[in-house]
Amino acid sequence: MVSPSHFAAFAALTFLMVIVPGPSVLFTISRALTAGRRDALLTVAGNATGVYLQVVGVAFGLGALVESSAAVFTAIKFAGAAYLIYLGVQAFRHRRSLAEAFGDQVAATRAPAWRVIRDGVVVGFANPKSIVFLAAVLPQFVDAGAGSVAAQMLVLGILLPVTALLCDSAWAFVAGTARSWFAGSPRRLAMIGGTGGLVMIGLGTSLAVTGRKD
């Protein structure tokens, strides 16, 4: 099993990694500004699920493959970048419809919860920042003589999505509150939608052109 000292040390490193804003944080903020707090929190939940799928992949060999294969790393990176750009384009195109997200039309305009969560899962799983962190750092906290290596990675790895869930939820609440200030003006709402969409497009583009240091 995982020793308490290894667990505490990995928890500290995980917290330091999560508090530095990366793709997940920016995506959450964009979602909060574009679609509101509800969608942002669902996105956070989906993202945490996607990150833990990375943990599972690392525990069973994906981490070593990503670390050694530039092609695999590039494929994952471009998949996430393309999806972010797609979501950003959609948000920008529909920026003027944000006004309908308030009042009596909330239920009619909100995307289904499963779709919002799915978007978060895709972005979380394709996040190169977290998968490289897991591939490079997680194995260093595993003791081969203390039982199953995969089981230890799965236990330690839960720290990353849990920490991200807590921190990103705070970002979602803050951004969602700021968004409500704009609710009284359709023009402000359109500006939020356009800005959020452009942020996602820019984020996807930056991921696509960023190298291994991600």
- Structural domain contains residue 134: yes
CA dihedral 109, 87, 159, 177 (to 10 degrees): -50
Inside any domain, residue 214? no
Task: With respect to residue 194, please indicate whether it lies within any of the assigned structural domains.
Answer: yes
How deeply is 50 buried, as exposed, middle or buried, from its count of CB atoms within 10 A (0-12, 13-18, 19+)?
buried
Q: Say how far apart CA 87 and CA 182 lie, in whole Å.
A: 22
> Could you list the residue range(s) of the whole structural domain that residue 135 is in?
4-15+22-209
Residue 177 belongs to some domain of the structure? yes
Phi, psi of 22 (to 5 degrees): -135, -160
Residue 104, number of CB atoms within 10 A of its CB: 7
Identify the pLDDT of residue 33.
75
User: Could you read off the pLDDT of 132-170 as tens digits, one per residue?
Assistant: 778 777 777 877 677 787 888 899 999 999 999 998 999
3-state helix, strand, coil in the chain (%, to 5): 85, 0, 15
pLDDT tens track for 29-62: 778 877 778 889 999 999 999 999 999 988 887 6
**For range 175-200, the mean pLDDT:** 65
Q: What pLDDT sits at residue 159?
A: 94
Domain count, the chain: 1
Residue 112 DSSP code: P
In sequence order, which residues have a C-beta less than 8 Å from that of residue 195 and are 6 or more positions away?
A: 33
Question: pTM surpassing 0.85?
Answer: no
pLDDT at 214: 42
